[in-house]
Structure 1
Amino acid sequence: MPEVSTHFQSVSVAGGTIELSWAGATHTGRRREVNQDALLTSYPLFIVADGMGGHIGGEIASASTVDRLGGVVTAGSVTPKTIEKALSRAVKDIASHPETTDDGTGTTLTGVYLDVSEDPPHWVTLNIGDSRVYLFRGGAIEQITTDHSVVQELMAAGRLSPEEAENHPYGNVITRAVGPSESVSPDYVRLDVVDADRFVICSDGLTKELTDYGIQHFLTENADPADAVDAMMDAALENGGRDNITIIVLDVAWRSPGADAPRGSTVGADSSPA
């Protein structure tokens, strides 16, 4: 795996500066021959996509999706509208690719972007499938995204406990994906920008091998994003590495001269991306 490094970006906003630092990495794992995951770490958008469908189909789907979203960043306007337009184009790319198969080719998609178009600025998470965004705030970790999976639906209906879900035979079956058969809009959650927040964006290759508590442990033990990514990757591989593993750690610092930084705001108080 190439050496993981931490990157930095300072963003001037009304009332101060938001300082971001992040690192990301992807690994094939110990049991797969091909890495069908892809990631995008290009301010203001941080994305993980986990492809599926045949030997190469998932790789096509995740790469096409990340490529189209990278174009949104380059164009300079990251919004739900531009994201969904890019996903529609990715669906067409996937369907028309000469090596796309009929084996359910598609990809999950999850991540966050920073919206500074309003005062105050805010984060928006987006999600399709069972890759996840976690938020580490005030010493506690919370899963922000909701899995689009058969297991999650059974748990929501009270028909399955979290313990039963861990080894359920339908554990890999997702109910929504970016793919050739239909255009799907992400779920969005709006979050306040809070000093000292840490995001983890990951494919299920990480969450198959580490519990939420395990992720929290490695964040607590590693202040630098690259060190946290390395530590979680090593642990996931040591625990079996049954799937491709992709991890982004994104740290937030709010520098506000003459005023206290925002702290302790409610997570997910507004589920609208507008």
Structure 2
Amino acid sequence: MAYQIDYAYTCHTGKVRTNNEDNFWCCGVRLPVHNQGVDGILAGHTQHWQLPMLAVFDGMGGESYGEMAASAAVEALGGFYEENKKTLKKEPVVFLTGACENMNEAVCRYSNENCIRSMGTTMALLSFSEKAIYACNLGDSRIYRHFQGKFQQISTDHVIGGKMLGKAPLTQYLGFQEENMALEPSIVEIGYQPGSSYLICSDGVTDMLSDEELQKILDGTETAEEKVGKILEQALERGGRDNVTLVLAQISGYEEKNILKRWAERHSTGR
């Protein structure tokens, strides 16, 4: 069985903030450091054997530091991905752990070189291997799974527990100085199931919409592009108080008719 991933994504500054501190990685597509999001909804498709990755980053730090943190992490992820595809294929957890360490080092290096003590970024990522899907996150950007009417969060919110005013401080993120505590990404393995879908989003989505509201949209029969449009529209209607970034991936299965052709394609790209 082979699997196709149809994905759609968007990034919007929101209705309150003047700058965009979010970024994303969608099969190699990302935003420049300084940006105002994207126009409309973007979409694409790929196959699982191409080892695609989809990720959302929510930068923190004020001024332009959030953008720099998210951009440094995205750039580091791209470089690590290109250099370590063989590891991703054979040992996905080793790859993801190494990618997180590499991204963290990149953000910390920029912070130290520029004497910035308050910058970082969340990261929520889906990695597709040949045998399974891996969800990996640091911070409070979330990953949800939707399948057969069941909607569940599969990422971990790395925040200090208890009720408090405002946003709870993060216990894990990229840009994490490891003198006193180790970087510990959450990594979850999920088997492929045709008809399943995965939503990756910054808190500009989850602070505006409840899980029940998100599930209602994903329960629909629309395309991934149309569902992303609905989520963005509702987040903005609720006030759009933060940058809004989301990626939706829908999984479908099919029987391969030409395995030799796929073998040739894989080896021609060095995978």
Pair in the same fold by TM > 0.5: yes
The residue number in structure 2 matching 1:109 is 123
State the Cα distance separating 1:254 from its structure 2 match: 1.5
2:71 to 50, 63, 88: 63
State the Cα distance separating 1:65 from its structure 2 match: 1.1
Cα distance in 1 for partners of 2:109, 2:77 equals 18
The residue number in structure 2 matching 1:32 is 17
Cα distance in 1 for partners of 2:15, 2:6 equals 29
Report the TM-score, using the length of structure 2 for normalisation.
Answer: 0.76
Alignment of 1:144-163 (within 5 A): 144-150=154-160, 153-154=161-162
Query: What amino acid is aligned across from residue 143 of structure 2 in structure 1?
Result: V
The residue number in structure 2 matching 1:46 is 54
The residue number in structure 2 matching 1:233 is 232
1:131 to 137, 141, 148: 141
Alignment of 1:142-221 (within 5 A): 142-150=152-160, 153-154=161-162, 168-179=164-175, 181-182=177-178, 184-221=183-220
CA RMSD of aligned residues (A): 2.0
State the Cα distance separating 1:91 from its structure 2 match: 3.0
Query: What amino acid is aligned across from residue 134 of structure 1 in structure 2?
Result: Y
Cα distance in 2 for partners of 1:74, 1:96 equals 21
The residue number in structure 2 matching 1:243 is 242
1:81 to 87, 94, 98: 94
Report the TM-score, using the length of structure 1 for normalisation.
Answer: 0.76
State the Cα distance separating 1:225 from its structure 2 match: 0.9
State the Cα distance separating 1:56 from its structure 2 match: 1.1
Cα distance in 2 for partners of 1:139, 1:18 equals 20
Q: Which runs of 5+ in 2 are unaligned?
A: 28-50, 257-271
Q: Cα 1:187–1:99, aligned 2, differ >3 Å: closer, same or farther? A: same
1:92 to 92, 105, 129: 105
Cα distance in 2 for partners of 1:188, 1:247 equals 19
Number of matched residues?
224
State the Cα distance separating 1:64 from its structure 2 match: 1.2
Equivalent residues of 2:76, 2:106 under 8 A apart: no
State the Cα distance separating 1:99 from its structure 2 match: 5.1
